[in-house]
A and B are shown apart, each in its own frame.
Chain A
């Protein structure tokens, strides 16, 4: 057995694709435990915190990095390039956070199209004046030379729709405690789960951890939004007519939203064997509607505000549904 201090340090990278930055902040949230991390690992690439350049990564040997936490979805050519590059340079590639795992919030862009998004952002939004109109170009020649921008894709993809992924760590963002557990397990040389596993989360759904009172009395006559009820703080949200993604979502976050008296939004993704949590939850919610009359059912269903965004908030690109089919392209 080699001594603790003679053990080679892990080389670790954290990268963001189409992400909000929250995942990187969740890594920073280890606070003083960062010393434990840096005692065991060298951070070789982490754009939010370190000034390592892409060229430095390109210069690394293949499999040079032991573990990369890739957060963010793949939505443009830069994301794709970096995903492929980091895959090549990394032994254990972890899809870190909801966006890399299932597409996340940027993945809701799949309910729209490239054209519609660019038009909204660069032409139609009320704060925009663009008489040209000028749209972002991937290549633009100026007298000083050529400027380039990554290409914006029509499709938002998950990390595993782009490159081979070893593990998934769900959450928006993942609980920092879970990250530390996973990190220390790797450092301590614990046996890793089979490739493709979801790590840093539980096997069971949120309800198993949720302390609210649950029964089979899920009969909904009116769907409500949280501000429309006086929550008693004790009864299952679904039994109060509020859509809670808890049953279709893995536990492990410590029921953060529910503890804060807000329904689960589903960021931890589905348990194993559920390829499409949105469809699963819709199907479950459909059985809760307390009516046999088709007109009344339609009326009740129409009370669900933004059903696509509610049921597929974090999971659209990774689901069977994947995207809205663009009839205009």
Chain B
């Protein structure tokens, strides 16, 4: 091994670190450690002059390792790695000791804080001795994209990518495109015709030479990784092999089946219908009872299966504004009808929704509130003397009274659930699911369309209940992410991957099922495990699982981590003795 020559830089971070840590003392102390050639302190290491200091020292003192003791590596690790690269050093010959978030910001005893900072820097110095050069790797991106699900999200993403001149395979399980949006009559709150909107989009898709639409098709298996996926689908009885570089999953949603809620007698009383069935009536242009009469009393019940611990804890987000839409449409179609909105909380939010609520409340619509914790409204068949078909009994929360409401037609605002195929497709595509079987995005705030599997994106209601504008926005975002990788042509993949030492692997196969990215396979011929470095994210799970020590998580090897711990303990013991 070449001689290890370490430069250590202790940052003041203005006063952020220096006020609580004696940075000069830290630098002086660690300069005496083995392999440390130079140790300095400086006001702002991350500034250009700070970085230049490192660069010139690397050249002047032939440094081959650098430790910066400053803020969190989350903030400036990349900055300093780049500085090392500028000086011609491999960027991974670097270690950061966080003496701001882990020391100065959380302690109030300057002496103790300085002691802790010394230990942390000593640990980093011990660790960096064992760092190895790691080379950046990239994979080429196949410019075609697979989109699973032909609803509004899938259609939007397909058009976006195809209009940029790139090939799209749009796979739809059913016999037609359009998804749930095409089952709606008008949008809420602005009452556009969904049919007109979707039809035009579908036509564009069908006529776009860059989009190959595969109807009645499901994705059973998928192989490959970011940039180079393959699947086989069946088209007209023939197997068709598709190759593509990215995947957008837009499989949409499923409507809650309300027959499990006894109170609502769905499936027993003929004129209790779901919101989806009511959309069908609206599209057909006729609001009527099963036996063809015009209802005189129409009740809309909210939160059917939503926000209820027995069914789904979450809010389905779209029902309130749709329910308001129904009140308006019933009022327009049957001016004399009694309309009741039975809600748990009015949650119509978003652009134009509050306005829709206020307009609706002036249209002689009775708003009745119930509390899901105190029982749901109960629907029963009316008696012969009643002037209606059904009676709904509920504890009205605002008045505190138990009341009875007449109804000829009841619309249940059913919850939005994850698609029945979600679990299967999560396994096929390697996307994670939340407890409700919605797909999980990589970061809930900062990375809402990517997933933890590179090259696989999600959009629309398969990720959480969404309305059309949100689905469209997410679909376009996913398309933009895909187009970015296509236009670049290749993408850098994780460098700190796991590595199998084939001379050591004994073939116990403990590692295979623990990999969350299905990056490990077993080579039967050699009888060793093999890590696909493109799929590997360097999470280290296999490394800590491997009982034989054959798998090394690069940049997090046992030797590196144990040396770091040794450094930490040695320094703390030594300083304690003093």
* A 248-286 contacts with B by CB, 8 A: 248, 251, 270-275, 277, 280-281, 283-284
Max count, chain B CB within 10 A of own CB: residue among A207, A238, A251: A207
**Known contacts A208-B527, A247-B547, A283-B544; A272/B514 CB under 8 A:** no
A320 and B562 CA atoms in complex are apart in Å by 10
Whole-angstrom distance from the CB of B516 to the nearest CB of chain A?
Answer: 12
A238 and B506 CA atoms in complex are apart in Å by 14
**Interface residues on chain A, size class:** 20 to 34
Chain A 273-317: CB-based contact to B (< 8 A → 1; otherwise 0): 111010011011001100000000000000000000000000000
A287 x B507 contact (CB < 8 A): no
A284 x B513 contact (CB < 8 A): no
What chain B residues lie within 8 Å of A188 (beta carbons)?
none
What chain A residues lie within 8 Å of B509 (beta carbons)?
214-216, 218
What chain A residues lie within 8 Å of B363 (beta carbons)?
none
Whole-angstrom distance from the CB of A269 to the nearest CB of chain B?
Answer: 12
Instruction: Report how many residues on chain B are interfacial, defined by Cβ distance under 8 Å.
Output: 24
A206 and B508 CA atoms in complex are apart in Å by 9
A273 and B543 CA atoms in complex are apart in Å by 12
Contacting A207 at CB < 8 Å: which of B506, B512, B513, B545? B506
What chain B residues lie within 8 Å of A11 (beta carbons)?
none
What chain B residues lie within 8 Å of A280 (beta carbons)?
546-549
B506 x A273 contact (CB < 8 A): no
Contacting B545 at CB < 8 Å: which of A238, A246, A283? A283
A218 and B514 CA atoms in complex are apart in Å by 10
Q: Does B510 contact A (CB under 8 A)?
A: yes
Chain B 557-577: CB-based contact to A (< 8 A → 1; otherwise 0): 011001000000000000000
A203 x B544 contact (CB < 8 A): no
B545 x A284 contact (CB < 8 A): yes
Whole-angstrom distance from the CB of A321 to the nearest CB of chain B?
Answer: 13
What chain B residues lie within 8 Å of A284 (beta carbons)?
510, 545-547
Contacting B504 at CB < 8 Å: which of A214, A215, A272, A275? A272
Max count, chain A CB within 10 A of own CB: residue among B506, B513, B527, B546: B506
19 additional A-B pairs beyond A204-B506, A271-B504, A273-B559, beta carbons within 8 Å, are: A205-B504, A205-B506, A207-B508, A207-B548, A208-B506, A216-B510, A216-B513, A218-B510, A218-B513, A271-B548, A274-B548, A275-B558, A275-B562, A280-B546, A283-B545, A283-B547, A284-B545, A287-B513, A287-B545
A-B CB contact pairs (8 Å), 29 listed:
A204-B505, A204-B548, A205-B506, A205-B550, A207-B506, A207-B507, A207-B508, A208-B527, A214-B507, A214-B508, A214-B509, A216-B510, A218-B513, A247-B510, A247-B547, A247-B548, A248-B548, A271-B548, A272-B504, A273-B558, A274-B547, A275-B558, A277-B547, A280-B547, A281-B547, A283-B545, A284-B510, A287-B514, A320-B562
The 7 lowest CB-CB distance pairs between A and B, nearest first, are A205-B506, A216-B512, A247-B508, A274-B549, A248-B547, A284-B547, A247-B547
A residues apposed to B, CB below 8 Å: 203-208, 214-219, 236, 238, 246-248, 251, 270-275, 277, 280-281, 283-284, 287-288, 320
